[in-house]
Amino acid sequence: MSLTLNRYAEKLEVPGIRKFSNRISEFPEAVNLTVGQPDFHTPAIVKQTFIDAVNDNYTTYSHNQGLPELRRAVSQFMADKYNACYESDCILITNGASEAIDTVFRTLLEPGDEVILPGPIYAGYIPVIENMGATVVLIDTTVNQCKVTPEMIEAVVTDKTKAIILNYPNNPTGAILSADDTAALAHYLAQQNFYTISDEIYSENTFGQPHVSFGSFPELQEKLLLINGLSKSHAMTGFRIGFCMGPAELMAHITIVHAYNCICANVPAQHAAIAAVTTARDAAAVMNEAYIVRRNYCMERLSAMNMRCIQPDGAFYLFIDIQPFAMTSFDFANRALEQYGVVIVPGSTFTAAGEGYVRLSYAYHQDVLAEGLNRLEAMVNDLTR
Ligand SMILES: Cc1ncc(COP(=O)(O)O)c(C=O)c1O
């Protein structure tokens, strides 16, 4: 008898970003521009609240849905910041947005279902969708500055469409949607017979126009699952706190799936999260000031190299067009690492729609960015010689 694995798990590969960042140790002098987390410290009040929670013995399980006090605080935060109104029984606290994504898809999907993905997009969705035996239907949004439109969606909807996942501000492109575009999409999606899942984890990281949440449109609420969290907004990636919001009846099912997976989110981290969304609710403002300076610096350097990128108005990434070099994004990133000592992520990591691009994260100190861009410039000069 031969022992087998689940057929979908067996196919899973190490995520493309990790494939590159895991190789950095082979190149000790390499400048790493791959990481998708803030290079700032967690606010002091949040750290202290975590420590106090441990010392005060808040080290046991919480309610499956999360601490009631945290859910009330998140409800207030979402209403004040985004006019997204959810009662606390419509909010689930998860172990990061990652767990929210996994739990939502495991609650909704069945084999044969189709999920629409406007790409380039975060690489974390596809494995979860495919693990459920569902199929990804990709839309290439690079033709429209990475902004999906109702017409693009309409062209791929079938009677098997179960959901669409949206991610604005977008990883890996930094694209955001205007208020008008968001309203038009919300109106279209409200008429459709499938769920909208909106991952708004970068909602606090916008550099001009504030984020407009899909949660602010009452007509869409019955079909919307809204995902957010504190990893990016509060530099809390290691705390693992996410939020999932939706209609009460659906959230009750999602909570049961979550409960069988992990019982509840990390409890001291839930206490720290209360401080994050109350006392430290505007923590992202300081980070955004730095991101704007860095983004502008990187764009000036790229433009001096005659390189073009998708207009980045949020998150902390640049998605750089490498099509003029007629090589795959994997080969480009590999050469950048092996011959020039700068680590960037191949665009193909973010679905096939990302081929022809590489992603650079500017969640790094200005000096690190300067050195990384010097190395990239050396490569570009050699390629265009
Ligand atoms: C779009 C997007 N969603 C979700 C996540 C995961 O967030 P969390 O740390 O809250 O699990 C990331 C992390 O990079 C991301 O870019």
* Residue 135 and residue 21 share a domain: no
Residue 189 pLDDT class (50, 70, 90 cuts): very high
For residue 201, report the distance from its CA to the centre of ligand 1, in Å: 6
* Residue 324 and residue 287 share a domain: yes
Per the domain annotation, does 173 fall within a domain? yes
Alpha helices in the chain (DSSP H): 7-11, 16-21, 44-55, 68-82, 96-108, 126-131, 150-154, 179-190, 248-262, 267-277, 284-304, 329-340, 366-384
* Residue 251 and residue 211 share a domain: yes
- Rounded CA separation 63/65 (Å): 5
Per the domain annotation, does 2 fall within a domain? no
Last residue of a domain, one of 277, 311, 334: 277
Nearest atom, ligand 1, residue 167 CA: 1
Residues with CB under 6 A from ligand 1: 36, 96-98, 122, 124, 167, 171, 199, 201, 229, 231, 237, 242
Phi first, then psi, for residue 57 (nearest 5°) are: 65, 30
* Residue 209 and residue 72 share a domain: yes
For residue 128, report the distance from its CA to the centre of ligand 1, in Å: 14
Mean predicted lDDT score pLDDT of the chain: 96
* Residue 100 and residue 57 share a domain: yes
Residue 133 pLDDT class (50, 70, 90 cuts): very high
* Residue 215 and residue 94 share a domain: yes
Per the domain annotation, does 1 fall within a domain? no
Nearest atom, ligand 1, residue 100 CA: 11
235 pLDDT higher than 80: yes
Residue 12 pLDDT class (50, 70, 90 cuts): confident
Residue 14 pLDDT class (50, 70, 90 cuts): confident
The string of pLDDT tens digits covering residues 143-170 is 999 999 999 999 999 999 999 999 999 9
Last residue of a domain, one of 277, 308, 323: 277
**CATH number of the structural domain spanning residue 247:** 3.40.640.10
Residue 15 pLDDT class (50, 70, 90 cuts): confident
Amino acid 299: pLDDT: 98
Number of domains the chain is built from: 2
For residue 98, report the distance from its CA to the centre of ligand 1, in Å: 6
- Rounded CA separation 316/25 (Å): 24
201 pLDDT higher than 90: yes
Last residue of a domain, one of 248, 277, 306: 277
Per the domain annotation, does 146 fall within a domain? yes
Per the domain annotation, does 269 fall within a domain? yes
The string of pLDDT tens digits covering residues 266-312 is 999 999 999 999 999 999 999 999 999 999 999 999 999 999 999 89
* Residue 346 and residue 237 share a domain: no
132 pLDDT higher than 90: yes
What is the percent of the chain with per-residue pLDDT over 70, rounded to a whole number?
99
For residue 202, report the distance from its CA to the centre of ligand 1, in Å: 9
Nearest atom, ligand 1, residue 122 CA: 1
* Residue 70 and residue 210 share a domain: yes
What domain range includes position 111?
Answer: 44-277
